[in-house]
Amino acid sequence: MPEWKKSRIEIGILGLGVVGSGTVDLLQRQRAEIERKIGIPFHIKRIAVRNIDKVRAVKVDRSLLTNNAYDVLNDPDIDILCELIGGVEPAKEYVLHAMKRGMQVVTANKEMIAKEGNDLMTLARQKNLDFQFEGSVAGGIPIIQPMKNALGGNRIDEVMGIINGTTNYILTRMSQEHADFGDTLREAQARGYAEEDPTNDIEGYDAQYKIAILSSIAFTSRINVNDVHVEGITHITKADITYAEELGYTVKLVGIGRRMADGRLQVRVHPTLLPQTHPLASTNNVYNAILIKGDSVGDVMFYGRGAGSGPTGSAVVGDIMDVCRNLTHGSTGRIHCTCYDDSAVMPMDEVETRHYLRMTVQDKPGALASIAYALGACDISIEVVVQKAAQDGHAEIVWITHEAPNSKVREAKETIVRLPEVISFDNWLRVEGLYRE
Ligand SMILES: NC(=O)c1ccc[n+]([C@@H]2O[C@H](COP(=O)([O-])OP(=O)(O)OC[C@H]3O[C@@H](n4cnc5c(N)ncnc54)[C@H](OP(=O)(O)O)[C@@H]3O)[C@@H](O)[C@H]2O)c1
């Protein structure tokens, strides 16, 4: 075993916000236990922030703080850099700088990993460094290390998850309170579950980064984040949630990565009707859950808090401990990038699912038949149809179709919106199949 010559491990941190505070708090509170487990003392040497005078959620010695990230990055004593500032730049520049100086890196930055993971992992490999990012997907839920280690022998064919707590909270409350999207979003913001600018969450971008990362690891192929089809939840109404429930489903924002028989991959994020019996369907409020199908293990589900200071700090500290063990045993860079393949991502138009379609029509004979004809003309067959009288001589019709490619539904929609009986085409959501083990 190569000799580790230093008496303690020095840690440098960029960012002392939500995740940085949770990380520092846990490192300070559990210091004795952590040091026993890793077998060596550690020390937080420096922390870079934007504003040194800001009140912090965790108590730290002011002398540790700097507003110049390079005070941390150029410190020759620092062994492990924790990047917890977020965004692509300057985070990427800082991480590359740290690696060039030989620092091991831990980050929770999903956007940087999803968009720039290739450059970062390539340099880490060249320099034989650890580059760990457990906190970047599903906060406190261990998912990246388990996929790379404990499940590493499996051929994974599917990864499916509720991986954004904000949207899951909103959809859960809409269902429980029969409330509208806008009111529920405002409530989520008031409770601190949605940001002032909620775009990243409600438009599905946060989940898009996460499913790109999960799928890259699951299918050993780097997923370009722009190839991930993404739809958010802003168009979900309480009517959709009520109809879904009446039909035995629950509406969730789901990230799906699936390996197809022809070797191509489906990687997508969109609101989805899940059967109420599906293992993910009972994941409510801010909780996240990820279901993985491995050829040997079968189905494995991971459940927990997908964000927040404590949960994400827990993931970051786990990574730090892993790196400390690797450092003292001379084994950094053991687990490198596993994207060996170059599998194509299937265009969304070709993806076949069942579909939920809701429309408002004139409540008179022949309306339902005209729409059914338009669907049939595009080879879309119907599994369920529900018609309810609304007001003013209008009726609402909800259809659940059998499996059909997205392109066919788009084609049918173009015809349906032009039918004289149709007042509005109100929503189109995907329906995932019955859960089969
Ligand atoms: N929040 C979560 O629950 C969560 C969960 C999983 C992953 N993540 C990821 O974790 C990362 C951090 O998120 P967060 O929620 O902790 O963010 P945050 O609360 O906004 O904190 C960011 C921290 O970075 C500091 N900072 C920003 N730019 C800097 C710069 N150029 N130099 C030095 N310091 C800088 C800020 O300083 P000031 O405090 O002085 O402004 C702040 O302390 C992101 O990549 C995010 O995607 C977050």
Per-residue pLDDT of 312-328, as tens digits, reads 999 999 999 999 999 99
Residue whose CA is at the smallest distance from ligand 1 atom 23: 15
Same domain as 284, residue 162: yes
| CB of 47 shorter than 6 A to ligand 1 | no
- Residue in 49, 89, 93, 134 to alter for ligand 1 test, most ligand atoms within 8 A of Cβ: 49
Q: What is the dihedral of CA 374, 377, 382, 386, to 10 degrees?
A: 10
Residue whose CA is at the smallest distance from ligand 1 atom 6: 139
Model pLDDT, residue 319: 98
Q: Is 39 within a domain?
A: yes
Q: Is 334 within a domain?
A: no
Task: Give me the domain span that covers residue 212.
Answer: 152-305
Model pLDDT, residue 389: 78
Q: Is 275 within a domain?
A: yes
Model pLDDT, residue 393: 87
- Compute the distance from residue 12 Cα to the ligand 1 centre, in Å: 15
Q: Is 338 within a domain?
A: no
Claim: this prediction has a pTM higher than 0.85 = yes
Q: Is 286 within a domain?
A: yes
Residues 113-139 pLDDT 10s = 999 999 999 999 999 999 999 999 999
- Compute the distance from residue 18 Cα to the ligand 1 centre, in Å: 6
| CB of 46 shorter than 6 A to ligand 1 | no
**Residue appearing with tokens 């509170």:** 29
Same domain as 184, residue 251: yes
CATH number of residue 261's parent domain: 3.30.360.10
**Residue appearing with tokens 């800001």:** 54
Distance (Å, whole) CA 428 – CA 65: 51
Catalytic residues: 210
DSSP letter string, 68-133:
-HHHHHT-TT--EEEE-S-SSTTHHHHHHHHHHTT-EEEE--HHHHHHHHHHHHHHHHHTT--EE-
Model pLDDT, residue 336: 85
| CB of 188 shorter than 6 A to ligand 1 | no
Same domain as 63, residue 37: yes
Q: Which residues of the chain register pLDDT less than 70?
A: 1-2, 434-437
Same domain as 96, residue 83: yes
Same domain as 300, residue 317: no
Nearest to residue 191, comparing CAs of 206, 175, 169?
169
Contacting residues for 371 by C-beta, under 8 A, at least 6 apart = 359, 361, 397, 399, 416, 419, 421, 422
Q: Where are any strands of DSSP class E within 231-336?
A: 249-259, 265-275, 287-294, 298-305
Residue whose CA is at the smallest distance from ligand 1 atom 25: 15
| CB of 15 shorter than 6 A to ligand 1 | yes
Residues 361-386 pLDDT 10s = 998 888 899 999 999 999 999 999 99
Pairing relationship of beta strands 422-431 and 352-362 according to DSSP bridges = antiparallel
- Give the chain's domain count: 3
- Residue in 19, 24, 26, 205 to alter for ligand 1 test, most ligand atoms within 8 A of Cβ: 19
Same domain as 296, residue 168: yes
Model pLDDT, residue 110: 96
| CB of 57 shorter than 6 A to ligand 1 | no
Same domain as 124, residue 39: yes
| b/e map 276-294, b = 16+ CB within 10 Å | eebebbebbebbbbbbbbb
Pairing relationship of beta strands 131-132 and 104-107 according to DSSP bridges = parallel
Same domain as 366, residue 382: yes
